[in-house]
Structure 1
Amino acid sequence: MARLEDRYVRIIEEGRFSLKERRSEFIATAVPAKTVEEAKGAIESISKRYSDARHNCWAYRVGFPETTEHCSDDGEPSGSAGRPILGTIIKADLYDLAIVVTRYFGGVKLGVRGLIDAYSASAQGVLEVCPREERTVTAPLSFTVGYEGYGDCLHHLTVLGIPEENVAPSFGEKVSVKVEIPISLLDRAEETMEDLRLRGIIEGWESL
């Protein structure tokens, strides 16, 4: 099976950036959003905040590794606003966010090329001021082991490259362990668990 990517970058705080172009003002607002519902809610809220503006164009990109993207020109010429905003997000390789670029029309038409440049620059400007963090996508795996085999299991997980802080043991008559496995290592971790079960080191395991 092909190796899955498990790391991605997202913004962690709302940001704002303003650009003036030939008497029109473009105000870009970027908001963290983990789901489509959060993204739509943020877009609606920002659009209400600037309800007196001519256009509130937007794009969102949420989810990793399965990603949902959408954008809107909100009355601007087709392809001149929403798509450039989304393209800027994709070029920056960011996820879990929505961007709304509000335009207060200044009376001078910019043309399609001018609009594309202005909306792209506004989106890029707001992304540059937003702090970011790298995230790792994990999947839970659990197993039960006797006390005498717990150290051996930890060793195998460490060899796979799984940080010890991802391991959460619960000590009772046996040791019940829950591990957050980076998805790129899930196949190998499952193979390791099955090997440990067949060798009698663990009593059983489950990938949740």
Structure 2
Amino acid sequence: MQIVYKAGVGEIVEKKSRFIATVRPVSTEEEAVKFINEMKKQYWDARHNCSAFVIGDNNEVTRCSDDGEPSQTAGRPMLDVLLNEDVHNVAVVVTRYFGGVLLGTGGLVRAYQKAVKEGLSNSTLITKAKGVLYEITTDYNGLGKLQYYFAQNDISIVNSIYEADVKLEIIIPIEKEDIIIKGVTECTNGAAKHSKVEELDFAVVDNELIRL
């Protein structure tokens, strides 16, 4: 699933009205409410600070607010963008400075959705995945075989410790766990030892694997 790794801000102008979308990662409803209140305080002089947020791996908590705009023209369209883009654990506030020209119901919906998309495009989104951290112990004869095997199967070595033997820490996507561990045994003829350390969430950012 997609989450926000780095928050961002996007701005659009529609018929002289400014729409400023501020995106923030959140993990609880309390965090989302606090963020929304921060934005209302920061943009106290704006006509509207409309909001939407999605929390949970399965979107367990969703909320939105039109903040004085006509019903269903701001908060719900904003929420729809987050759901359609499949972004989780995220809140967005779109601040509107009225430009003196009415946009109409359809115009408001399009403007608020466009602003949210602009805010997301200026944020860094990453795909969070479930993985398993393993420690692999091998002699030096098996090291090259394992390095080649992991490279061929897109398995990242996150740490290497060179002593009498070599200890490699790898993160395996959880759906590949059984087949990768079987391959470790096969390519070293059973010489390599493996131990499961923990399950975790991970993502790839700028070609670098990170733990979440």
Alignment of 1:111-126 (within 5 A): 111-126=104-119
**How far 1:101 moved relative to its partner?**
0.8
For 2:4 and 2:169, how far apart are their aligned partners in 1? 26
Unaligned runs of 5+ in 1: 1-5
Shift of 1:56: 1.3
Describe the shift of the 1:41–1:196 C-alpha distance in structure 2 as closer, same or farther (beyond 3 A).
Answer: farther
Structure 1 letter corresponding to 2:136: F
Of 188, 192, 196, the match for 1:202:
192
Residues 1:124 and 1:206: Cα distance change in structure 2 (over 3 Å): closer
1:206–1:39: structure 2 CA closer, same or farther, 3 Å change rule? same
Give the number of the structure whose residues are more often helix, by fraction.
Answer: 1
**How many angstroms does 1:127 deviate by?**
4.0
Q: Given the two structures, how large is their TM-score scaled by the length of structure 1?
A: 0.68
3-state SS, counterpart of residue 87 of structure 1 = helix
Q: Which residue of 1 aligns with 2:202?
A: none
Aligned alpha-carbon RMSD (Å): 3.7
Aligned-pair distance for 1:87?
2.4
Higher strand share: 2
Counterpart among 21, 26, 31 of residue 29 in structure 1: 21
Q: Residues 11 and 32 of structure 1 are in contact (CA less than 8 Å); yes or no, is this contact kept in structure 2?
A: no
Superimposed CA distance per residue, residues 163-198 of structure 1 (whole angstroms, 9 cap, x where no aligned partner):
5xx3421122332211123455444323434x4599
- Percentage of matched positions with identical amino acids: 28
- Aligned partner of 1:17: which letter? E
SS at match of 1:121: helix
Question: Structure 2 CA distance, aligned partners of 1:92 and 1:85?
Answer: 11
Q: What CA distance in whole angstroms lies between the structure 2 residues aligned with 1:110 and 1:94?
A: 28
Equivalent residue pairs, number: 194
TM-score of the superposition, structure 2-length normalised? 0.67
1:181 match: secondary structure:
strand
Return the alpha-carbon distance in structure 1 between the equivalents of residues 186 and 195 of structure 2.
9
| Gap change, CA 1:10 and 1:75, over 3 Å in 2 | same
- Are residues 1:180 and 2:174 paired? no
Q: Distance in 2 between matches of 1:151 and 1:34?
A: 42
1:75 CA drift (Å): 4.1
Check the 8 A contact 2:73/2:109 in 1, yes or no: yes
